[in-house]
């Protein structure tokens, strides 16, 4: 149970970063004149932290599909953040 509590702690922290990262990501507007790179970088930093925390939870609770699914989802948005940044 204590390992479950530890995994849950990582998930809770990960969820916080995920929600903050998604809030940033939703500010992104393709093709507008806002500072999209800054928005995407801020979102990506939070989402990468979420991915890392979900990874730590999965190290403890290896077969937890809901954590794994959320990690994949966060990783997909990290990819989008990288893809949409302009040089």
Q: What rounded mean pLDDT belongs to the chain?
A: 93
Radius of gyration of the chain (CA): 14
pLDDT tier for residue 25 given thresholds of 50, 70 and 90: very high
Cα–Cα distance between 64 and 27 in angstroms, integer?
31
Weakest-pLDDT range from 14-23, 40-49, 51-60, 78-87 = 78-87
Weakest-pLDDT range from 1-5, 47-51, 71-75, 82-86 = 1-5
Say whether pLDDT at 33 is over 70: no
Dihedral (Cα; 46, 50, 53, 54), 10-degree rounding: -170
Neighbours of 44 (CB within 10 A): 20
Cα–Cα distance between 10 and 49 in angstroms, integer?
11
Q: Is the pTM of this model over 0.75?
A: yes
Which residues, at least 6 apart from 81, have a Cβ–Cβ distance to it below 8 Å?
25, 40, 41, 43, 44, 47
The distance from CA 35 to its chain's CA centroid, rounded to whole angstroms, is 21
């Amino acid at each position: 149970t204590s390992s479950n509590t530890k995994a849950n702690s990582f998930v809770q922290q990960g969820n916080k970063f995920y929600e903050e990262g998604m809030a940033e990501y939703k500010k992104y507007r393709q093709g507008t004149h806002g500072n999209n790179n800054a928005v995407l970088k801020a979102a990506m930093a939070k989402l990468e932290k979420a991915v890392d925390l979900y990874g730590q939870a999965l190290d403890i609770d290896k077969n937890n599909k809901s954590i794994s699914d959320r990690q994949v989802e966060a990783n997909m948005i990290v990819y989008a953040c990288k893809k949409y940044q302009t040089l």
